[in-house]
Amino acid sequence: PCIGAPTALTIESSSNVYVRGLTIRNSQQMHLIIARSNTVRVSRVMVTSPGDSPNTDGIHITASTNVIVQDCKISTGSTTKSYTKLLLYIPFIPFKKKTLITGDDCVSIVNASSRIKMKKIYCGPGHGISIGSLGRGNSTATVSAIVLDTAVLKNTTNGLRIKTWQGGNGYVKGVRFENVEMHDVANPIIIDQFYCDSPSTCQNQTSAVHITEIMYRNITGTTKSKNAIKFACSDAVPCSHIVLNNVNLEGKDGKVEAYCNSAEGFGYGVVHPSADCLDSHDNKGLDQTQYLSETVLVGQEAKNAHDEL
């Protein structure tokens, strides 16, 4: 779309808003934006747009708190008969033949957002579910208490993604991704702190948004990527307190691996591919039992958001 192209629906500087059963087709840019708002609930939303339309995020959340996104289907491209048939067999989606079809992220969450809960989301094809991008132009970013509970991702170019530019400062903390099925997803679990959506090469920077207290639990399925788990964290500001529990990702075309750069944390239960590349202790030298207690299974804020929303 052209710069400044309209968004189909924007909720701006509002509180106590409920959006339900809405259908949006072929927005010129983002479909639904929630900006500078508090206490917003979105459920049973249908959005469709061509798969080759850039910046057409399904639901984009910025500078907002206490947001629930529930029972939504998010996809890119035309809905074929076989694809529609598949959607009807997803038990947690209570309405038929409705799809959120976009040419970008299914859901994107950016700066100054907290206490966001996504539940029962169908995403794919598309760019996956993203926190970011954050920190562009050496800016400050704060994102906390984010929960995704129960989702299916199919044929997406990314799965569960956190992306930040080099430079910048601030934090992403208290994030829980749990109960997610992946089907032929590229980059199913990815933290990318070298994000560069620019025609020219981005310069190396010595500051970064700090990513900490991130949990991945009950994540299963298949991937197209060799690196099923990728934590490309900042050399200057390493990721910390990353926990994986019961993660099992199989390669559709062969062996899968995990990649880590400047990432601290650990895995327990079944974790495939192995997360041995994570640095298993932080600067306090905690053992695993102390570590679990210290982080309260990664992010008390996120747990509170999960329980209360």
> What's the whole-model pTM score?
0.86
Going 264 to 297 to 213 to 252, the CA torsion angle's sign is positive
Would residue 143 count as lying in a domain?
A: yes
Residues 52 and 144 in one domain: no
Least confident of 58-67, 255-264, 291-300: 291-300
Could you read off the pLDDT of 263-301 as tens digits, one per residue?
A: 999 999 999 999 999 998 644 444 444 444 444 444 565
**In this structure, are strands 263-272 and 160-164 parallel, antiparallel, or unpaired?**
unpaired
> What is the percent of the chain where pLDDT is above 70?
77
The pLDDT value given to residue 289: 47
Length of the chain: 309
What pLDDT shows up at residue 100? 44
306 in Cβ contact with 149 (< 8 Å): yes
Backbone angles phi, psi at 119, to 5 degrees: -140, 135
Residues with catalytic roles: 127
Same structural domain for residues 100 and 151?
no
pLDDT 10s digits, 168-216: 999 999 999 999 999 999 999 999 999 998 888 888 898 999 999 999 9
The pLDDT value given to residue 104:
79
Please give the residue range of the domain that contains residue 56.
1-110
**Residue 46: predicted pLDDT:** 81
For the cut 60, the answer to whether the pLDDT of residue 16 exceeds it is yes
The string of pLDDT tens digits covering residues 130-172 is 999 999 999 999 999 999 999 999 999 999 999 999 999 999 9
- 123 lies in some domain: no
How many whole angstroms from its chain centre is CA 279? 23
Query: Does any domain span residue 117?
Result: no
What per-residue confidence (pLDDT) applies to 23? Answer: 85
At residue 303 the predicted structure's pLDDT band, cuts being 50, 70 and 90, is low
DSSP category for residue 100: B
pLDDT attached to residue 305 = 55
Tell whether 294 is covered by a domain: yes
DSSP bridge pairs for 23 = 46
Mark whether 167 and 242 lie in a shared domain: yes
pLDDT at residue 124 in the model: 80
Whether 106 and 146 share a structural domain: no
Note whether 138 and 59 are same-domain residues. Answer: no
How many structural domains are present in the chain? 2
Distances, alpha carbon 94 to alpha carbons 91, 219, 229, in Å: 7, 23, 31
pLDDT bucket at 247, cuts 50 / 70 / 90: very high
Last residue of a domain, one of 82, 110, 138: 110
Are residues 118 and 69 in contact, defined by beta-carbon separation less than 8 angstroms? yes
The per-residue pLDDT for 306 is 52
Same domain, 4 and 103: yes
pLDDT of res. 213:
97
Band of pLDDT at residue 88, cut at 50, 70 and 90? very low
Domain termination residue (choose one: 110, 142, 166): 110
Does residue 218 share a domain with residue 85?
no
Same domain membership, residue 140 and residue 17: no
Binned at pLDDT 50, 70 and 90, residue 307 comes out as low
The model's confidence at residue 5, banded by pLDDT at 50, 70 and 90, is confident
In whole angstroms, give the CA distance from residue 145 to residue 89: 31
pLDDT at 111: 98
168 and 35 together in one domain? no
Whether 11 is in a domain gets the answer: yes
Examine the domain organization and report whether 98 and 144 are in the same domain.
Answer: no
Q: What is the pLDDT of residue 280?
A: 84
Q: Could you tell me if 144 and 291 lie in one domain?
A: yes
Residue where a domain terminates, one of 110, 140, 168? 110
Task: Give yes or no: residues 142 and 103 share one domain.
Answer: no
Tell whether 287 is covered by a domain.
yes
Does residue 3 fall inside a structural domain? yes
Domain annotation covers residue 121: no
